[in-house]
Amino acid sequence: MRLPVVVSLLAFLILLAGFTLSIADSNTQFHVIIYGDKTCPHCRATYSYLSSIYDGNVMFCDIITNETCYKYYNNIITDFYGGYGAVPVTLFVVNGSITGVVLGEISGSTISNQSELQPLLTPSNSTTVFGYEVGGMGLVKVSNVTGSQESLLEKYDVFYYTNASSTSNVSYLDYIGLIPPLILLSLVDSVNPCELITFFSLATSALSGRKRSYGPPLLFIAVVYIGYLTIGLGLYQFARLINPLPLAFIALAIGVYYTVRPGGESTSDTLKCRWCERLGLKSPTTASYLTATVLAIISVTVLLPCTAGPYLIFATILRSTPPAIALLLLIAYNTIFILPLLILLLALRNLARQKKVAMWLSRNASLVNFLIGLVLVLISIYVITLLV
């Protein structure tokens, strides 16, 4: 199978990419309230970005399901933006004073750097509060409201008369909705014919001799799990820094590629693992731990990235979640991802099953790629419609 080299290189560049998180002065007391809709990708992106910087100080107020949130949101929209009802609207409160409100998505793809937010986190007792919009040049002042801080807080800050232990009227982002796409995308992603054939060759070599050894196959699975989880974390960080739309289009392109050209590792009844042959894996004695590690690394860096469209889509979805939640979801994703390898390992304990599995993989690799590509195209189109 010819591999999309560009996607493989992209995975490595993502792993090398990083970003610096800014933190506010520890002596400054502040909180940030995002008035928005949980289904709005711009609201989720704003929550994710600000949470990654000011973890624990960012709250989401759902104006769709909560009347109180909508009331305060409507006050801001009416006074600062002439009634223009768009979301998200973000309120900054420092040391008991409102320092500004911002209309629009605040993220790494809409502001040049985090220093633009610094004026909004600087203590101020001014009776004039500015309203900003996120534009092509970052934050732009568009209006201002004058009044005592007490009156402004009473009108715009939903937490003014509440405390941290009595905020039941505020709705935080709901992550239950991420479970269905997690299961679907991880299952689609887990069926990679190239990887399965590579693992099949390793496992049969380890289990066909007199002394069966489950060590190399299990090591292969462990390395794939850790490696692919690392790639997922890199994709997640990358998705948080850029507009997610290009990632969705990349996933769509991968899906179209495998739908139009669903090539397989082998087209005959005899399974051929080209990487295994290059490493000299032809007999049970060659299925060593070193061989298993090398094949797993090849799978993670070369074979898996070429069908990583579902992973790109999931990273795009996760960009609006805090890092701790994203890590847990990626762990769950990768746990489902390795299930076919574990099932295949159990099936290969019987010699007769080995032959049946080999014939099925060799004859259906193209069909599997086609179905994976088709599902990926449909999911990508759906995600793109949400982002546009």
Kindly state the DSSP code that residue 30 receives in the 8-state scheme. Answer: E
In this predicted structure, the answer to whether residue 10 has a pLDDT above a threshold of 60 is: no
Q: Which pLDDT band holds residue 171 (cuts at 50, 70, 90)?
A: very low
List of residues 6+ apart from 27 with CB closer than 8 A: none
Q: Which amino acid is at 302?
A: V
CA 282 vs CA 129, 202, 208, 215, 361: distances in Å: 74, 9, 11, 18, 19
**Residue predicted with more confidence, 337 or 236:** 337
pLDDT tens sequence across 329-374 = 999 999 999 998 998 888 777 655 555 665 666 666 677 677 777 7
Rounded mean pLDDT of 189-211? 77
In this predicted structure, the answer to whether residue 376 has a pLDDT above a threshold of 50 is: yes
In this predicted structure, the answer to whether residue 227 has a pLDDT above a threshold of 50 is: yes
In this predicted structure, the answer to whether residue 20 has a pLDDT above a threshold of 60 is: no
Q: How many residues does the chain have?
A: 388
List of residues 6+ apart from 373 with CB closer than 8 A: 254, 255, 256, 257, 258, 259, 260, 262
Closest residue by Cα to residue 301 from 183, 187, 190, 195: 195
Domains and CATH numbers, the chain: 18-156 (3.40.30.10), 176-387 (no CATH)
